Amino acid sequence: MTREASNALLKTLEEPPEYAIIILITSNESKLLATIKSRCMRVNFIPIPDEQITNYLKQKGLSENITETMTKACNREYRKST
């Protein structure tokens, strides 16, 4: 994130609009400015089990082939980021 982008985000965090809920997601927290991190609440997410993802996607009407492909892609992305 550029210095300008960091400053813009910091301003938004300091003076958020009343209607806003800001969710900042990063795979590299060390790249965020300390002033940004100090204004955020950290929430760690745990991976969702494959079976739960598969069941959800099937309930939404996706085919078995698409469901399997999407579940595998989710796991690949998770393994890359950990």
Ordered alpha helix ranges (H), the chain: 3-14, 34-37, 50-59, 64-81
Task: Please give the model's pTM, rounded to 2 decimal places.
Answer: 0.57
Q: Which two tokens stand for residue 45?
A: 């997410």
What end-to-end distance do the CA atoms of the chain give, in Å? 21
pLDDT (tens digit per residue) in 47-80: 888 888 889 999 999 998 898 888 888 765 555 5
What's the pLDDT at 15? Answer: 92
14 pLDDT above the threshold of 90: yes
